[in-house]
Amino acid sequence: MSLAKQETEKTLDTVETNGELLATRKAHFLPTAAHYYQEPLHLVRAKGSFVYDEQGREFLDVIGGIVCISAGHNHPRIQQRMIEMITNDEIQHTTTLYLNRYATRLADKLTGEAPKSMDPKTAKVAFTNSGSEANELALLAARQATGETMVISLQHGYHGGTSGTLAHCGHHSWRFRAQPVSNAVAAIAPNCYRCPFKRDPGTCHLECAKHVEETIQTTTHGRIAAFLAEPVLGVGGFITPPEEYFHRVAEIIHRYGGKYISDEVQTGAGRCGQTFLATPSLGIDADIITMAKGFGNGAAIGATLMRADIAESMTGKMHFNTFAGDPFQAMQALTTMDIIEEEKLIENARVMGQALKDGLLELQKRHPLIGDVRGRGLLLGIELVKDRETKEYASAETAQLMELMKERGVLIGKGGLFGNVVRLAPALSINRDQAEQLLKALDESLSVLEKG
Ligand code: PMP
C-alpha cells in the first residue's frame, strides 16, 4: 500500500510507530527538515521545565524547542485561558480589520517595554506570526523611512528563513544559491573568544565596532537604511558582544542615516535576565526591535516595535498579515508577559543564569573540551574545542555530547557555524534542582567524552 493511501486511512487517534513517522516524514518533508539525534525524539507531552516522549520518558528541556519556552511548558494560567476561550466559543481569527482586545492590550503592554530611544509612549507595534516576518517588516520600515536600501548585518548572524532575511544570514549552510542577495553587506562579528582582530577584551578599542563604520565607508555610497543585529548571536553560537559595542555601533549607524534594528527574537521576553527586552538594559539606542519565540511561550507570534516617525513613513500604504495578532496567539503572549512579571521570572533568569554560568565555569576547570562559557541570563553557550591553544572546533564531540545528555534525560541545543557550541536556554522558571541536574549530566557526559 502506498504511503499516501495509508495516510488517508489514518485518523487523529492513530498511533504510528516512530519508524512509521520517520518514513512518512522522509517521503513528504523537504530535505531541509533536519532532526536532532541519531534516533529522533518523539515528544508528546510537556509541563514546566520537562518534556515527555511517547514512551513517557521524562527529559529536562534546556533548549525550549529552540528558545521558545519562557514561562514554562503548558503554564496553568495559559491553559486555563485557552480552555475558557474555547468553551466560550471565542473567535479564533479576527485580523486587524476587526477590533481585538487581546492584541490591543498586548500592543499597549509591549510598547511600554521599549527603550527610551523609541519613546515608549508613542512607539508603534505590528504583530506577525514569526521572527522572520518581524524582521521583514523591520527592514521594510527602515527602508521606507530612510529612502535608502542598503542594510548592514553581522557575519554569523541569523534573522530568518524568508528571502529578505536570508540576505542577511551569516551562515553558508542556511543560505541558498537561489536566493536573491541585494543591498546587503555583513560586518565582522564581535566575537571576543575568537577575536578576528587578535585583540584581548578590555584593551581592544572595539575594533569590531570600528569595522562597522569601515564596512559602510567601503561598501555603500555613504548612506544606509539600517543595521540589523542580535544582542546575542543565537544561531551563531550565542556569541556575546561586549556591552559597549552596541552603543558605539548605534552612534555610527545613526551618523550614516540608518536605523538600528535590534533582533530580539532570541534575547527578548526576559531571557537575558535584566529587562523584558535586552535592548534597554544593554543601552542600545534602537529604532526598531523585533521579537518572537519566547514572546508567545511557544505560540506562533512575533512583533515589530518601532519609533513613531518610522511608522509614520508608512502612512498611506497597506500592510497586511492575515493571522497576525489573532486572539489566541495574542492572549498567549499577553498572559506570558503577565506571568513573567508576576512570577518575577526576569529576576529568576538573572539569578539562575548566574548560578548556571558559575557552575559551567567550574566545569571548565575540569574539562579541557570547554573552550569558552558565555551568554546573558538564561541564554548560555559553551564552546567546545579539541584543543584550547588551537581552538579547533569540536563539532563531532558536540553532537556526541547531545546524545550522552539525552541518555541522561537532558535535552540541550547546539549552534555555531561549525556546530560546536552547546546552547542552553531553559524555561525562565528553572529552579536550583533542575540547574543541578543539568550540571551533573554535563559533568558526566563530558567525562565520558574525554575518556574517548
Ligand atoms: N531572528 C533570530 C535571532 C532567530 O534566532 C530566528 C530563528 N532562529 C529568527 C529571527 C527567525 O524566526 P522564525 O523562525 O520564527 O521565523
pLDDT digits (tens, 9 = 90+) for 361-402: 999 999 999 999 999 999 999 999 999 999 999 999 999 999
**Cα 425 to ligand 1 centre (Å):** 14
pLDDT category at 1 given cuts 50, 70, 90 is: low
- Among protein residues, the one with the nearest Cα to ligand 1's atom 12 is 131
C-alpha cell at 73: 511548558
182 band by pLDDT with thresholds 50, 70 and 90: confident
At 167-176, the pLDDT tens digits run 999 999 999 9
What's the pLDDT score for residue 294? 98
HSE value, Cβ hemisphere, 13 Å, CA-based, for 2: 5
Hey, which of 156, 266, 272, 376 would you mutate to test ligand 1's pocket, going by the most ligand atoms within 8 Å of its Cβ?
266
Q: Give me the pLDDT at residue 201, please.
A: 83
Question: Closest Cα partner for 373 from 435, 447, 415, 423?
Answer: 423
Is the pLDDT reported for residue 144 higher than 90? Answer: yes
Residue 304: partners with Cβ closer than 8 Å, 6 or more residues away: 125, 126, 128, 134, 135, 137, 138, 141, 288, 289, 290
- Quick one: average pLDDT of 411-428? 98
Q: Are 289 and 262 in contact (CB under 8 A)?
A: yes
The alpha carbon torsion through 169, 174, 177, 182 (nearest 10 deg) reads -10
Output the nine-digit C-alpha cell for 49.
521545565
3-state secondary structure of 310: helix
pLDDT at 394: 98
pLDDT tops 70 at residue 8: no
Burial 11-36 (b: 16+ CB within 10 A, else e): eeeeeeeeeeebebeeeeeeeeeeeb
Q: What pLDDT score was predicted for residue 241?
A: 96
Say if residue 272 is exposed, middle or buried (CB neighbours under 10 Å; 0-12, 13-18, 19+).
Answer: buried
Mutate to test the pocket of ligand 1, among 135, 293, 421 (most ligand atoms within 8 A of CB): 293
pLDDT value for 178: 84
Atom of ligand 1 nearest to the CA of 131: 12
Which of 132, 277, 291, 421 is the pocket-test mutation for ligand 1 (most atoms within 8 Å of CB)? 132
Residue 2 has pLDDT above 70, yes or no: no
Task: Find residue 46's DSSP bridge partners.
Answer: 51
Pocket of ligand 1, candidates 156, 159, 304: which has the most ligand atoms within 8 Å of its Cβ, to mutate?
159
Q: What are phi and psi of 222, to 5 degrees?
A: 105, -5
Q: Over the stretch 99-121, which tens digit does the pLDDT of each residue have?
A: 999 999 999 999 999 999 999 99
pTM: 0.96
**Which atom of ligand 1 is nearest the CA belonging to 267?**
3
Dihedral, CA atoms, 394, 396, 401, 404, nearest 10 degrees? -160
Residue 5 has pLDDT above 90, yes or no: no
Cα-trace Rg, the chain = 22
Mean pLDDT of 25-47: 95
- pLDDT band at residue 87 under the 50/70/90 scheme: very high
Report the atom number in ligand 1 closest to the C-alpha of 234. Answer: 5
Which residues form ligand 1's pocket by a CB distance below 6 Å? 130-132, 135, 158-161, 230, 234-235, 263, 265-266, 292
Question: For residue 326, what pLDDT band results from cuts at 50, 70 and 90?
Answer: very high
What percentage of the chain has pLDDT greater than the value 70?
98
Q: Are 73 and 277 in contact (CB under 8 A)?
A: no
Question: How many A from CA of 84 to the centre of ligand 1?
Answer: 31
Distance 297 CA to ligand 1 centre (A): 14
Q: 440 CA distance to ligand 1 centroid (A)?
A: 30
6: pLDDT strictly greater than 80: no
- What b-and-e string marks burial along 184-213, b requiring 16 or more CB atoms within 10 Å of the CB? bbbbbbbbbbeeeeeeeeeebebebbebbb
Nearest CA to ligand 1 atom 10: 159
Question: How many angstroms does the Cα of residue 253 sit away from the middle of ligand 1?
Answer: 23
How many whole angstroms from 132 Cα to the centroid of ligand 1?
A: 6
> Does the pLDDT value for residue 7 go beyond 60?
no
Q: Quick one: pLDDT at residue 3?
A: 58
The pLDDT of 320-339, averaged and rounded, is: 97
Percentage of the chain lying above the pLDDT 90 cut: 93
